[in-house]
Copies of this chain bind each other. A is one copy, B any other.
């Protein structure tokens, strides 16, 4: 990706033309500008958003240590083998894509580093959650407008990040592995309900059979009601892989292609639900930012700093204070 400038070219139209032509340097510059909220970045995102929608976006999520990055690396190989370009957005700070892991892992990733058909974007250092979600959405919008037909988004599967990836992906792969402790229990805690495909990676290790059996039983027992406000969903496909040896990658790639081929009406329904969630998240983020500005900090108090003081000294409860805060912003 070399060293593109840290600001966008003056002319929006030129940038858009470069992006549409698939210029990866222009894409990298646009993603960096969005991360850093440089002038013009928001206008660019608004302008390119309507150009996207063609990419098949696959979220890959799971707890640390399950081998997500190795799995993504193997999937990149499968996509490249059929001649398609592919982009990866790595949101997991412990991902070797993000430079955060051990040397051995990083070396393993190198096989795609020199392939011009593969673009890897790491968002490991973006810090707090809101910034990460914003940067991830921007990166996907840029890569989508830039014409990448397949985009993998790798996130560490826990808390808000897993929900964000479900709201941005056409298919979600939830990865687990045997021997991590309470992996099956941990999956119950929200990951299962977003999975389109459930993968037991490191499937050649001791305990893999037991993990698969437990998950099979859990899937049979679970109701798969869908997320709140959503229609019931099919049970996720359950697959075993050993990404290090390549075992099970072809069936996984094939399962993803099946998901890619859903009817347009079904995809549109899913994207409509995702858009609603995304808008809800953005509205929440705007309200948080407004509240933060109104409250300020101890050294630089905002106009409504007294509300935080009152809650801290227990003269006011937080729920009443929040209502006052929200009304004041209107």
Contacts and interface: CB of A to CB of B under 8 A. Distances in A.
Contacts of A259: none
Interface SS of chain A: helix, strand, loop or mixed? helix
Given A181-B65, A320-B46, A326 B275 contact: no
Given A283-B288, A288-B283, A314-B50, A186 B64 contact: yes
A229 B321 CA distance: 20
Contacts of A129: 159-160, 163
Identical copies of this chain, number:
2
B159 A312 contact: no
A280 B308 CA distance: 10
Contacts of A160: 129, 159-160
Contacts of A18: none
B272 A308 contact: yes
A297 interface: yes
A271 B42 contact: no
Given A159-B129, A271-B312, A279-B308, A286 B46 contact: no
20 contacts: A46-B317, A46-B320, A63-B63, A64-B183, A101-B182, A159-B161, A180-B180, A231-B298, A278-B318, A279-B295, A279-B321, A280-B292, A281-B288, A282-B318, A282-B325, A283-B322, A283-B326, A284-B287, A287-B287, A287-B288
Given A275-B311, A283-B322, 6 more contacts: A94-B185, A100-B182, A101-B185, A128-B228, A156-B158, A278-B318
Interface of A: 42, 45-46, 49-50, 52-53, 63-65, 93-94, 100-102, 127-129, 137, 156, 158-163, 180-183, 185-186, 188-190, 228-231, 268-269, 271-276, 278-288, 290-292, 295-299, 307-309, 311-323, 325-326, 329-330
